[in-house]
Amino acid sequence: MTVTLSRTQRRFVLPESDLPTHYYNIAADLPVPLPPPLHPATREPIGPEALAPLFPMALIAQEVSTERAIEIPEEVREAYRIYRPSPLHRALGLEKLLDTPARIYFKNEGVSPAGSHKPNTAIAQAYYNREAGVTKLVTETGAGQWGSALSFACSLFGLEAKVFMVKVSFEQKPYRRSFIQSFGATVVPSPSDETNAGRAILAADPDSSGSLGIAISEAIEVAATREDTNYSLGSVLNHVLLHQTVIGEEAILQMEMAGDKPDVVIGCAGGGSNFAGIAFPFMRERLQGRADTRFVAVEPASCPSLTRGEYRYDFGDTAGTTPLLKMHTLGNDFRPAPIHAGGLRYHGMAPMVSHLYELGLLEAKAYEQNACFDAAIQFTRSEGLIPAPESSHAIRAAIDEALDAREAGEERVILFNLSGHGFFDMAAYDAYLAGGLTDVGYDSGQPPA
Amino acid sequence: MTVTLSRTQRRFVLPESDLPTHYYNIAADLPVPLPPPLHPATREPIGPEALAPLFPMALIAQEVSTERAIEIPEEVREAYRIYRPSPLHRALGLEKLLDTPARIYFKNEGVSPAGSHKPNTAIAQAYYNREAGVTKLVTETGAGQWGSALSFACSLFGLEAKVFMVKVSFEQKPYRRSFIQSFGATVVPSPSDETNAGRAILAADPDSSGSLGIAISEAIEVAATREDTNYSLGSVLNHVLLHQTVIGEEAILQMEMAGDKPDVVIGCAGGGSNFAGIAFPFMRERLQGRADTRFVAVEPASCPSLTRGEYRYDFGDTAGTTPLLKMHTLGNDFRPAPIHAGGLRYHGMAPMVSHLYELGLLEAKAYEQNACFDAAIQFTRSEGLIPAPESSHAIRAAIDEALDAREAGEERVILFNLSGHGFFDMAAYDAYLAGGLTDVGYDSGQPPA
C-alpha cells in the first residue's frame, strides 16, 4: 500500500437516507428450498395456524415468505434511526499490529441501545405485535442481551414486556437485570411460581438455578394462554434472520464507499442471526453469480452445532414443546459448558444457516475461549473497542485470515461483524486477565442422555 | 409543527472530512483576561517552568496560549476518527413524551471507546507526551472514567499507563478496573506503598479506603520524581478544556445540518470540561456578537461549586501541592457526599468556566440526584440510551427547559451534551429503581474544618 495511515479513511458512515428500505429474504434465491418445520406428533409440515398463539400473522407470513425484498415499515425505520445506519470501521490499528497486507473491516452493531445487533429484530417484532393489537410481549433471556433488546423495543412502542431470566443469571448479572428494568420491563427469575412449568420444577427442586430451556417453557406458556400476550424469540427463526439483513445491506453500501469488496465475510454463530445478518445480503451476490465471496460462521468449541452436530429434525427448546426444525444440532437436551460467550450456548443452528451450510455456501470454524479472548485483547488495544465475548469469536477468525494472508502475501479483504460490545462482560475479561479461563471443549458439555 | 415524526431526521452524522482541524481557544475572545495561576508561597504568577516536571511544553504552551485556533495534529485526528465525529441526535421521543413545542438536540459523547468525552483530551495528551519523549503517563481515577480514557489513549500511542485508583472504587468497581487493565494499563489501589504520600497515609491508617486527593498526590509524586514519566489530568486545566472543543465545533456543523440554532446550550459540570467542550464554540458566536445563546452549567446539589462556592484562589488538590487557581470552590478539603455521579464530585470549577460565570456568560443550576435519575429514566425509555449519572444532570435541566417552553408556548431550541453512557453505572440505577437513593444536599458534605 502506498497510502499512509493518516490518509486512509477509518469509518464509513451512511446518511439516514441510506437506511435500508427492505429486508432481504434469502429464501427467494435458494437453489433448493428450505425443509419445512414439522409437527412433532404427525411429522407433517405445520401450517401458519400452529404458530398463531405465539406470533402475529405478519411475522408468520415473513417466516414462510419467498418474496425477495420485504418492505420495512416506516415506524420501524424511524426507530432504527436511533442508532442506524451503524458504522463500518476499517481496522487500521489491528492491521498494523498484525503487519498484514490484508485489509480488515468490521461492522459495529455495538452502537445500538442494547449494545448488540438484537434490537434490529426486537424493534420489528414489537412493531408487528403492536399492529396486531397485542399489548404485552413475553420472552426469556440467559445472558441478558435479548431481554435488553426486547425491553428497549417495547418501551418505544408502548408495549409491556416480561422477561423470564434464568435464575443464576438473575443473581449473577444484576446489571443486566437493572438494564432491562430501566426500560420499564418486568424481570422474573426462572423457574418462577407464575407458570405450571415453573411450579413443577420448583416442586421437584426448590433450589433450581434454572436454565434457558425452563425459561423458554415459562415464556411460551404465558404467551400461549393469554389473548393479549405474544411470545418473542431473538434468533433461529427465519423472520428473525430476515430482520438482521439490514446489517449486510448497509455493509454493502459501506464497502462500496471504501472502494473494496470482501473476499471473506465472518460472523460468530450461536442461533445464527448476527451471522445471517451480515452474510445473507453478500451471499445474494454469490447466489446470483456476481461474486465468489467466502463465508465463515464461527462457533465455540464447547457448543459446536455446525462443526460437530448432526443435521436432522430436532426441537428448538429443551422441553420439546416447539415444532421440529431441520438443523444442525447437538441434541435438544445438550447442556453446553458455562463459557463466557453465553449468547453462543445454543444446542442448534438456525435452519436457514444449516441449510446453506449443507449447500456448501459457508464454512464453519470452532475456537476455544482463550484463543478468542487473546484476539479480543489484541483488538481492544489496537482499535479501542472492547468486544462482547461472542463477537471475539469472529475477531479470532478474522485475525487468522489476516495472518494467513500475510503468510500467502495476499491483499485479502476481510469483513467481520462486531455483534456487540463487552461492557457488561467485564467479569469475563477480569477472569481472563487473571489467567482464570479454562478451555472446556465439546466433551465437557453434557450430551443427550 | 406540521412535519410528522417519521419524516423528521433523527441523527445528524458528519463525514470524516468534517472532523475539526483546530481546537477553539476561548482565551482569544475574552473581554477580560483569565486571572493567572499563582505560586502558593509567593502568590506571584507562575511561569511555564513550574509545570515542566509534570507536563510536556506543548501542553504548557496551550495552557497559556491566547491564539484563537490551535491546530490539531494529524495523528490526533487519526485517533479521533475511531469514534469522531460523534453523532448529534434529535430527541424526538423525549419531545413527544414531554408534549413540548421545544426541539431538543443532544450530542452523544458516549460513543467513544471509554464511553465518555474524556478520550478527546486523553488522546491529545498521550500524543504530545509521546512527541516529547515521555514513555509513561501516570494519573488518578475515582469513578474510573478518566483512567479508562487515558489507558485507551496510551495503548494507541504505545505509552505505558499507571492509574492510581481510589481504593474504595478499586474494590467496589471491579469492572472499571478490568476495563482499564484490558487496555494494558497498570491499576494500583490508592493509598499504595509505592509513594511517600501513600506510605504516610497507610502508616497512619492501614485500612484507609483512599480519596481522590490522596490518589492525585501519589500520581503527582511519581511523575515529579521520574524523568520518563509525566502526569495527566482529565479536567479543570485550560488545555484540557481546549481539547474538548471538538465537541462544540462538530455540534455547530450538525445544528446547521438540522437547520436550527440553539437558544440554550446545556452541560453538566464537575471539573467543567464537557460543559466547556460543547459550550465554548457556541460562546464564541455570542462573544463575537453573532448570537445571544444562553448557557447553563448543571451541578449536583451536594457539590455546588458554582452555585454555592466562593470565587477565590484555591488549590486544585486536597493535599495542597498544586499552584493556586482562581475558581469557584467549596474549599480544597471539602469532601462531597458519595453521590452516584462520581465525576461531578470535585471541590472546584475550572478557572476558565468560573471566569466566564463571573463575566455573566453562563447560568448555573444545581439538582438533587433523585430528580436527575427521574430525568434519566424518562430519557432512557423515550430515546433508548442509558445516560451516565453525570449526564443525567444535563438531561434534567434540558427537560426543565422543555417544560418551561411548553408552559410559555415557545418553540425553544435546546442542545445538551450527553457526556457519557451509564453502562458501568447500573448499580446506581439498580438502587434508584429500588427506591434507594437519598437526596443528600450540600450540607451533607463535610466542609473545610
Question: How confident is the model at residue A272, as a pLDDT?
Answer: 96
CA distance A382 to chain B (A): 6
Cβ neighbours of A145 in B, within 8 Å: none
Q: pLDDT tens across A178-198, in order?
A: 999 999 999 999 999 999 999
Contact A6 B115 (CB under 8 A): no
**What residue type is A240 in one-letter code?**
V
DSSP letter for each residue of B148-217:
HHHHHHHHHHT-EEEEEEEHHHHHH-HHHHHHHHHTT-EEEEES-SSSHHHHHHHHH-TT----HHHHHH
Cβ neighbours of B16 in A, within 8 Å: 9-11, 13
Contact B380 A182 (CB under 8 A): yes
CA distance A126 to chain B (A): 14
Measure the CA–CA gap between A338 and A318, rounded to whole angstroms.
16
By C-alpha distance, the chain A residue nearest B6 is A78
HSE-CB at A81 with a 13 A cutoff on CA atoms is: 28
Q: pLDDT tens across A393-436, in order?
A: 999 999 999 999 999 999 999 999 999 999 999 989 999 999 87
Question: How confident is the model at residue A208, as a pLDDT?
Answer: 87
Cβ neighbours of A111 in B, within 8 Å: 111
Question: How confident is the model at residue A2, as a pLDDT?
Answer: 33
- Point out the residue among A11, A384, A424 whose CB comes nearest to the CB of B16: A11
Q: pLDDT tens across B32-53, in order?
A: 999 999 999 999 999 888 899 9
What is the interface pTM, i.e. ipTM, of the complex? 0.91
DSSP letter for each residue of A303-328:
S-HHHHSEEEEEESSSSS-SPEEEEE
DSSP letter for each residue of A345-382:
--SB--HHHHHHHHTT--EEEEE-HHHHHHHHHHHHHH
pLDDT classification of B256: cutoffs 50, 70, 90: very high
- Angle between helix B238-258 and B351-358 (nearest 10): 60
Contact A182 B433 (CB under 8 A): yes
Contact B6 A74 (CB under 8 A): yes
Instruction: Compute the CA torsion angle B121, B122, B123, B128 (nearest 10 deg).
Output: 90
Measure the CA–CA gap between B385 and B377, rounded to whole angstroms.
9
Are A323 and A317 a contacting pair, CB within 8 Å?
A: no
- Point out the residue among B182, B384, B424 whose CB comes nearest to the CB of A82: B384
By C-alpha distance, the chain B residue nearest A17 is B9
CA distance B73 to chain A (A): 11
Q: Which residues pair with A297 in a beta bridge?
A: A267, A364
Question: How confident is the model at residue B172, as a pLDDT?
Answer: 80
By C-alpha distance, the chain A residue nearest B380 is A183
Contact A15 B13 (CB under 8 A): yes
- Point out the residue among B15, B115, B177 whose CB comes nearest to the CB of A13: B15
- Angle between helix A212-225 and A196-204 (nearest 10): 140
CA distance B130 to chain A (A): 17
Best A83, A94, A120, A372 residue to mutate vs chain B (most B CBs within 10 Å): A83
Contact B184 A385 (CB under 8 A): no
Contact A174 B429 (CB under 8 A): no
Total H helices, total E strands in chain B? 16, 15
Write down the residue that cell numbers 492491521 correspond to.
A95
Q: Identify the H or E element spanning B76.
A: helix B74-80
| Phi, psi for residue B136 in degrees, rounded to 5 | -145, 135
Are A143 and A343 a contacting pair, CB within 8 Å?
A: yes
Contact A6 B75 (CB under 8 A): yes
Q: Which residues pair with A230 in a beta bridge?
A: A137
Measure the CA–CA gap between B226 and B213, rounded to whole angstroms.
20
- Point out the residue among A10, A75, A182 whose CB comes nearest to the CB of B16: A10
Q: pLDDT tens across B69-128, in order?
A: 999 999 999 999 999 999 999 999 999 999 999 999 999 999 999 999 999 999 999 999
pLDDT classification of A336: cutoffs 50, 70, 90: confident
Measure the CA–CA gap between B137 and B150, rounded to whole angstroms.
8
- Point out the residue among A152, A156, A380 whose CB comes nearest to the CB of B183: A380
C-alpha grid cell for residue B364? 448555573
Contact A89 B111 (CB under 8 A): no
CA distance A82 to chain B (A): 7
Strands (E), B16-169: 22-24, 69-71, 88-90, 103-108, 136-141, 160-166
- Point out the residue among A5, A82, A178 whose CB comes nearest to the CB of B10: A82
Cβ neighbours of A178 in B, within 8 Å: 426-427, 429-430, 433
On the question of pLDDT at B2 being above 50, the answer is: no
**Spatial CB neighbours of B397, under 8 Å, sequence gap ≥ 6:** B266, B296, B298, B365, B367, B416
- Point out the residue among B77, B182, B426 whose CB comes nearest to the CB of A429: B182
Question: How confident is the model at residue B447, as a pLDDT?
Answer: 45
- Point out the residue among A75, A93, A383 whose CB comes nearest to the CB of B6: A75
C-alpha grid cell for residue B175? 469492572
Contact A182 B5 (CB under 8 A): no
Cβ neighbours of A437 in B, within 8 Å: none
Q: pLDDT tens across A33-83, in order?
A: 999 999 999 999 998 888 999 999 999 999 999 999 999 999 999 999 999
CB pairs under 8 A between A and B: 132
Measure the CA–CA gap between B348 and B339, rounded to whole angstroms.
16
pLDDT classification of A446: cutoffs 50, 70, 90: low
Q: Which residues pair with B155 in a beta bridge?
A: none
On the question of pLDDT at A443 being above 80, the answer is: no
Q: pLDDT tens across A358-399, in order?
A: 999 999 999 999 999 999 999 999 999 999 999 999 999 999
Write down the residue that cell numbers 400473522 correspond to.
A57
